[in-house]
Amino acid sequence: MRYLPLAFDVKGRNCLLVGGGAVATRKARLLARAGARLLVVSPQITEELQQLLEQSDGRFFQAEYRADFLDSAELVVAATADSDINRAVSTDARSRRLPVNVVDAPKLCTFTFPAIVERGPVSIGISSGGAAPVLARRIRAQLEALLSPGIASLAELAARMRDRVKAALPEAQRKDFWQWVFTGPVASKVEGGKVSEGEAELLAALQQWAGRPAPGGEVYLVGGGPGDPDLLTFRALRLMQQADVVLYDRLVSPQVLDLVRRDAERIYVGKKKEFHSVPQEGINQLLVDQALQGKKVLRLKGGDPFIFGRGGEEIDKLAEARIPFQVVPGITAASGCSSYAGIPLTHRDHAQSVRFITGHLKQGELELPWAELASPGQTLVFYMGLTGLETICKQLAANGLPEDTPAALVEKGTTREQRVVVGNISTLPALAVTEEVEAPALTIVGGVVSLHEKLRWYKPE
C-alpha cells in the first residue's frame, strides 16, 4: 500500500487549483462539495468553474502559474495540459511540504483523488494510487449498486444519538448496541424512510440496554487456516471483526492477520524452535485475564486449533474459569498444503488411510509407533517435522518402509511463497538442506506424492 487512505478536512481551507479546463473543473466540483475555498490560477476558466468559485467564496487569478500563488494554499491540484507547468507545481508544492495532486501523473503526487461513493456523512474512497483509475470507478459502480441510499439517514441518526448513547452505556456495551442498531429493526425502519419510527425504537432500546449489567468477556478460539485468507470460514471472519483483543501465533499469515478489526489490540504469543515468547501456561492465563475485563478475545491460530494447536488446553482453562467461549475450526495444514501441492491425501491406488503426526522433537527424541507408521497403503503427514526430518526418514526405512517411497516437503503452503520439494525417504533430508527449506514446512510421505507433478494446479509466481 503506497498511499494511506485518509479523510482530509478541507472545509473553509484555501485549495489552489492550477488550470481552468474540463479536468480542473471536475476536481473543483469535488473540492467545492467538501466545502473548500477555491483559488484558481489559469489564463481562462470554464463557466462552471467560475460558478463554483463564486459559490465557494473563492478567487480567480487570471495569470500564468507562479510559485508565489502557493503562499496562501493548504492543498494544491495541478490540472493543466502543460506537463512542464504540472511538474513545476509539484516541485514547488513539495518544497513547501504542501499536499499536491497532479492529474494523471501519480509520480508527481503526494496524494490522489479516490473514486467516491457518498451517502450523506458516509463516504467510501476507492483508490488504485493512480495506477488504474478506470478499475477504481468500476468498483465504485459496484458499491453504488449495493448500498442503500437510506444509509445516509442512518448515519445522520447515529450522529445525533452518539453523545446520548455514550452517556448511557459503558464502552463494552456501546459497541454491541450500535451493532444491534445498524443490523436490526432500527436500520430497517430508517433505511425504509421511517426515520421517526426508527429513532423512537432506538431510544426505547437504549433505556432497556442501560438497565442491563455490563456484559462479560468471551473468547473466540479460531482456526486461521494454513495461510491463504480465502480459506477462512465466514464465521471466522465475522468473529475476527468483532474482537477487542487478538492473541496470535507465528503460523498466522500476515494476510490473515490483516483481516482482524483494525483497532483491536494485538498480542503476539508465537513460538519458535527453543523460544516461546509466552509459555503455554501464560497464554492460557492471558485469555482468562483479558476475558475477565469484559473483552471479546480472539485466540487466532494457524491451521485448526484442535489439531496440534493446543486448543483443548486453552479452552480447558476457560471452562475452569467459567468464561464463555466459541471454537471455530480452520482448514488444517495437512488438508490445505496437500491440496495446493496437488497431492491427494487418499487415493484408491495409493492410500486408503491418512495419519497426522507431530514431528516435534522432545529432548532430541521422537517416540512414535514406527512399525505402524511404516505400514503400506497409507499417507503420513508430519507437522513440525523439519528439524527431525532425518530421524523420521531413517526410522521409517529401518521399520520396513521402502527407501524409494515418495516424500515431499511443502514450505509455506497455500501462500504465494509456497515451494514443494519432492524426493523419497532416502533423499528428502539432503534435499531439504540443498534447497534450504525453512519452516513452516509440512512433510508428506506415501505413494500419493507421486501424483504431484501431474496434479499440481497451484503455481504461485
**CATH number of the domain encompassing residue 320:** 3.40.1010.10
Spans in the chain with pLDDT lower than 50: none
Annotated binding residue at 22? yes
The dihedral formed by the CA atoms of 449, 455, 457 and 461, expressed in degrees to the nearest 10: 50
- Residue ending a domain, among 84, 113, 142, is 113
What values do phi and psi take at 293, rounded to 5? -85, 5
Same domain as 242, residue 200: no
Same domain as 296, residue 245: yes
Annotated binding residue at 332? yes
User: Is 249 a residue of the active site?
Assistant: yes
What values do phi and psi take at 185, rounded to 5? -65, -30
Which position among 249, 295, 301, 412 bears the catalytic label? 249
- Residue 16 and residue 76 in contact, taking contact as beta carbons nearer than 8 Å: yes
User: Is 273 a residue of the active site?
Assistant: no
How many other CB atoms are found less than 10 A from the CB of residue 339?
Answer: 19
**Which CATH number belongs to the domain containing residue 29 in this structure?**
3.40.50.720
Same domain as 341, residue 320: no
Same domain as 448, residue 349: yes
Q: Coil, strand or helix: which one is 409?
A: strand
CA–CA distance, 437 with 435 (Å, rounded to integer): 6
Same domain as 449, residue 356: yes
Q: Is residue 135 part of a domain?
A: no
Q: Which three three-digit cell numbers place residue 376?
A: 503400506
pLDDT tens-digit series, residues 381-398: 999 989 899 999 999 999
Give this prediction's pTM.
0.72
Which domain covers residue 398, as residue numbers?
335-455
Q: Is residue 407 part of a domain?
A: yes
| pLDDT score, position 276 | 55
Q: Among all chains, which residue has been given the C-alpha cell 453504488?
A: 144
Which position among 175, 176, 194, 271 bears the catalytic label? 271
Name the residue type at position 135. L
- Residue ending a domain, among 210, 230, 251, is 210
Annotated binding residue at 384? yes
| pLDDT score, position 32 | 95
- Residue ending a domain, among 289, 311, 331, is 331
| pLDDT score, position 461 | 74
**Would you call 43 exposed, middle or buried from its count of C-beta atoms within 10 A (0-12, 13-18, 19+)?**
exposed
| pLDDT score, position 118 | 87
DSSP state of 339: H
**Rg of the chain (C-alpha set):** 30
Strand partners, 148: none
| pLDDT score, position 363 | 59
Q: Is residue 7 part of a domain?
A: no
Strand partners, 60: 40
| pLDDT score, position 248 | 96
Annotated binding residue at 58? no
The count of structural domains within the chain is 4
Annotated binding residue at 413? yes
| pLDDT score, position 132 | 86
Annotated binding residue at 302? yes
Name the residue type at position 56. S
Same domain as 324, residue 236: yes
| pLDDT score, position 426 | 97
